[in-house]
Chain A
Amino acid sequence: DTAVSQTPKYLVTQMGNDKSIKCEQNLGHDTMYWYKQDSKKFLKIMFSYNNKELIINETVPNRFSPKSPDKAHLNLHINSLELGDSAVYFCASSQDRLGAGRETQYFGPGTRLLVL
């Protein structure tokens, strides 16, 4: 009964390739997030959707494009991968967005991306 799941768990690819990471939550939450955690362990917000609408887009290169086909899914597509994209990408969900009350975030297990 995984609450927030991500696939794949590991992704090794060459520079210049395009890849996608999928995220699904079965908690009935309205808000979903993508975070990047780099080698220095800093957890940085990239995107957030609330009820399928993009509400946060934080200075991320436009090679990164999120897509939310429905409230339970938030996918991340990355074009023209670069070495600096190597990191762990976490998906998360919460009932409400931050500051709106039910804001506890539940994280997926992470996708470890290595660009060679």
Chain B
Amino acid sequence: RKEVEQDPGPFNVPEGATVAFNCTYSNSASQSFFWYRQDCRKEPKLLMSVYSSGNEDGRFTAQLNRASQYISLLIRDSKLSDSATYLCLPSGGSYIPTFGRGTSLIVHP
């Protein structure tokens, strides 16, 4: 099993849709998680940090399932500007950052 796995997608959704994708991790010692967003040909930027069971920030909700070792990102009311690649980064099991491959989201009109 890879350390961090993400469905590469692309997830192709219409504006206004709700979309969710998961990130599974193998290191059970991971305590906190980060979702980064990367726009095409740009640098990754932090979207959300998750330090307990989950986090909510506006239209974005992250939920952690420790038993099954995955974290999900839910985006409600998708906007065109949400089109990007979403990268998952677990933390706590190792100080070596291991990003997931990323999930590509395309929001169309």
Contacts and interface: CB of A to CB of B under 8 A. Distances in A.
Interface of A: 33, 40-45, 48, 55-56, 58, 90, 97-100, 103-110
Given A41-B85, A43-B44, A109-B43, A99 B92 contact: yes
B96 interface: yes
B70 interface: no
30 contacts: A33-B97, A40-B101, A41-B85, A43-B44, A43-B87, A43-B99, A43-B102, A44-B99, A45-B98, A48-B97, A56-B95, A56-B96, A58-B96, A90-B43, A90-B44, A98-B89, A98-B95, A98-B96, A98-B97, A99-B91, A99-B93, A99-B94, A100-B95, A103-B32, A103-B34, A104-B46, A104-B49, A105-B44, A106-B46, A110-B43
